[in-house]
Amino acid sequence: MNKPWFAEYPAEIPTELDLIEKPLQSYLTEAATLYGSKVAIQFMGKELTYTELHESALKFAHYLKTLGIKKDDRVAIMLPNTPQSVIAYYGILYAGGIVVQTNPLYMEREIEYQMKDSGAKVILTLDILYPRVSKAMKDTELEHIIVTAIKDYLPFPKNLIYPFIQKKQYGIVVKVNHSGQNHLFTEIMKTAKPESTQHEFDFENDVALLQYTGGTTGFPKGVMLTHKNLVANASMCDAWLYKCKKGEERVLGILPFFHVYGMTAVMILSVMQGYKMILLPKFDPETTLKTIQKQKPTLFPGAPTIYIGLLNHPDLKDYDLSSIDSCLSGSAPLPVEVQQQFEDVTGGKLVEGYGLTESSPVTHSNFLWDKERIKGSVGVPWPSTDAAIFSLETGEPLPPNEMGEIVVKGPQVMKGYWNRPEETEQTLKDGWLLTGDLGYMDERGYFYVVDRKKDMIIAGGFNIYPREIEEVLYEHPAIQEVVAAGVPDEYRGETVKAYVVLKEGESLTEDELNEFARKFLAAYKVPRIYEFRKELPKTAVGKILRRALVDEERQKIEEEQKTS
């Protein structure tokens, strides 16, 4: 198949990668040898070297073996970005296990579903989440809960003060003893031996991670990502960042590691290249600005809502963000305005990439250096990655500039969905991953994502793409965030509604916004309804939950019909 994008590659980026067939955890072993005394993790003032990280991961692995964990057993991590989450991740792999990343925002029902589906035997979680996890445990295969706390890896005196802050914030104090099914992370680190074990290993087929994704329908599915998938994607990322220096970069880790993008672009890449990870357990604009000024990160993988949150902080001009050289934005479309503003503030480069959980996650990106910016494009396929546009009608490849479904193929594409052969078959066709995203490719091989198949609005027979509307509305100077969605309409089937969050201190009426939209959009695309909100529902990684707004709208209509 023709790959026109290769002609766009700078000389420094190879078109194909030679992957070394070794397990993901071996990169931590190497990092401990090459960069032992270098700082691997900086967490709110506490530092861990690569030697300490490696030793801690081996201790965790040894303890898991004493709990009966064998090769391919599943172990869940339900933590924000903390040193413990990195230690446990590599510890599980050293023990031969499979990591099950679990969102710490999950409620009992969601925890129970994921534990049942994955068959996890052990879970590591925070003290404040212990009551939730222990209640969900009953009907699952979970046998052990390992408990840790934010304070466990805070420097003095923060470690003494933090429990009081936590009590004030969450209204609970949880005390767990190191006995029976309950285990304390601090005790494990004190008592376990740092021993490594060798297992039979299959680079191509051994699953390293079950990453749950909502996908396009029904319950979340466990995406099986192999050692090869994750090593490949992090290696591609490294090839793309060809100006970055091994052992020298500082990476800001705000994107949660329980999301595959943060895990690959921050944690795995950092360990692979001996970078310093600057971890923050959650995104708070002020804390982030202070951290950037103090810790001077050079790499900042993020999401549009994170960059928007920083740009709209009232004291932004008081902070020095000039250490930031490069940012790769993912998880949601990056408005051009945001990209330009953030580059002006930092002096660094911010480009948009594209991917999905099923591809570990990145498949496409714009070039950070030495190339012109292609407005509105998610870039070109990464090394060793193939991509095409398939016709929705025939399933055949389409020529440039024709709209269809984006499909991808490469060593980062998942093995399949855990225990779901039928759904795997529907999503993987002849090695191609059907993304469910609509878009097109231009003559040079740049790809453009128009929208999700399921998010396309059909109003009065017209196909309308929410992203196009959002791009226009984002250009209004008073708007901080916006999402467009199709809501039920008796006459048109669906109609366009825009949910808008204004910047602090700004005011805007529906009529003013309508007038603005009409200057740039065909009449049938202009939103018929506007709703101003203080905030929009989001995932932990900052992706706006369009579906939640649509469901809310449908519910509202059903309630109204009941009462009328």
Instruction: Convert 400-411 into a string of H (helix), E (strand) and C (coil).
Output: CCCCEEEEEECC
**Range in 405-409, 496-500, 540-544 with the lowest mean pLDDT:** 540-544
438: its two tokens: 């609509």
Strands (E), 349-393: 349-355, 362-365, 380-381, 386-390
Q: How far apart are CA 490 and CA 550, in angstroms?
A: 15
Fill in the DSSP letter of residue 491.
T
Mean pLDDT of 501-529: 93
pLDDT in tens, 302-315: 988 899 899 999 99
Q: Is the pLDDT of residue 14 over 90?
A: yes
Least confident of 27-36, 190-199, 353-362, 529-538: 190-199
**Using DSSP, how many helices (H) and how many strands (E) does the chain show?**
17, 26
Report residue 491's pLDDT band, with 50, 70 and 90 as the boundaries.
low
pLDDT at 215: 45
DSSP state string for 178-245: SBTTEEEHHHHHHH-----------TTT-EEEEEEE--SSSS-EEEEEEHHHHHHHHHHHHHHTTTS-
235 φ/ψ angles, rounded to the nearest 5 degrees: -65, -40
The reply to whether omega before 361 is within 30° of 0 (cis) is yes
Say yes or no to pLDDT of 28 above 50.
yes
Q: Which of 306, 284, 428, 300 is nearest to 368 (CA)?
A: 300
pLDDT score at 1: 66
Q: Residue 16 burial by CB count (10 A; 0-12/13-18/19+): exposed, middle or buried?
A: exposed
Residues 68-91 have pLDDT tens digits of 999 999 999 999 999 999 999 999
CA distance 235 to 232: 5
| Residue 221 in this model has a pLDDT that exceeds 50 | yes
Measured distance CA(541)–CA(81) in Å, rounded: 12
Q: Identify the H or E element spanning 310.
A: helix 304-311
Q: What Rg, from alpha-carbon coordinates, does the chain have?
A: 24
Least confident of 102-106, 161-165, 424-428: 161-165
User: Measuring CA to CA, which residue among 507, 502, 385 is closest to residue 447?
Assistant: 385
Amino acid (1-letter code) at residue 366: N
User: What is the reported pLDDT for 458?
Assistant: 76
Average pLDDT over residues 149-164: 89
Distances (CA, A) of 396 to 216, 423, 425, 458: 22, 21, 17, 24
Helix (H, G, I), strand (E, B) or coil at 539: coil
Say which DSSP state 2 is in: -
pLDDT at position 509 is 95
Which pLDDT value is given to residue 107? 86
Are β-strands 428-429 and 432-441 bridged in parallel, bridged antiparallel, or unpaired? antiparallel
The arithmetic mean of pLDDT across residues 509-519, rounded, is: 94
- Percent of the chain having pLDDT more than 90? 76
SS3 380: strand
Question: What is the separation, in whole angstroms, between the first and last Cα of the chain?
Answer: 58
Give the total residue count for the chain. Answer: 564
pLDDT (average), residues 346-358: 94
Is 422 or 172 the better-scoring residue by pLDDT? 422
Residue 191 pLDDT: 94
Beta bridge mates, 458: 463
Work out the average pLDDT over 326-355. Answer: 91
Q: What is the pLDDT at residue 217? A: 42
Taking the CB of residue 408, how many other CB atoms lie within 10 A of it?
Answer: 26
Phi-psi region of 551 (alpha: psi -120 to 50; beta: other; left: phi over 0): alpha
From 544, 543, 520, 547, select the one nearest 533 (Cα to Cα).
544
What's residue 466's pLDDT?
A: 87
Q: Which domains does the chain have, with CATH numbers?
A: 44-201 (3.40.50.980), 456-563 (3.30.300.30)
**373 band by pLDDT with thresholds 50, 70 and 90:** confident
> Do the Cβ atoms of 554 and 496 come closer than 8 Å?
no
Q: Is 410 left (phi over 0), alpha (psi -120 to 50) or beta?
A: left
User: Over the chain, what is the mean pLDDT?
Assistant: 93
Per mean pLDDT, which range of 177-186, 208-217, 283-292 is the poorest?
208-217
pLDDT at 461 (0 to 100): 66
Q: What is the pLDDT of residue 169?
A: 79
| Predicted confidence (pLDDT) at residue 479 exceeds the cutoff of 50 | yes
Quote the pLDDT of residue 214: 63
pLDDT band (50, 70, 90) for residue 216: very low
Q: How far is CA 10 from CA 115, 162, 244, 279, 454, in A?
A: 45, 48, 15, 32, 36
Given phi > 0 = left and psi -120 to 50 = alpha, else beta, which region is 207?
beta
The pLDDT value recorded for residue 165 is 80
Query: Residue 138 and residue 134: Cα distance in Å, rounded?
Result: 8
Amino acid identity of 422?
A: E
Instruction: Look at 458 and 330; give whichever has higher pLDDT.
Output: 330
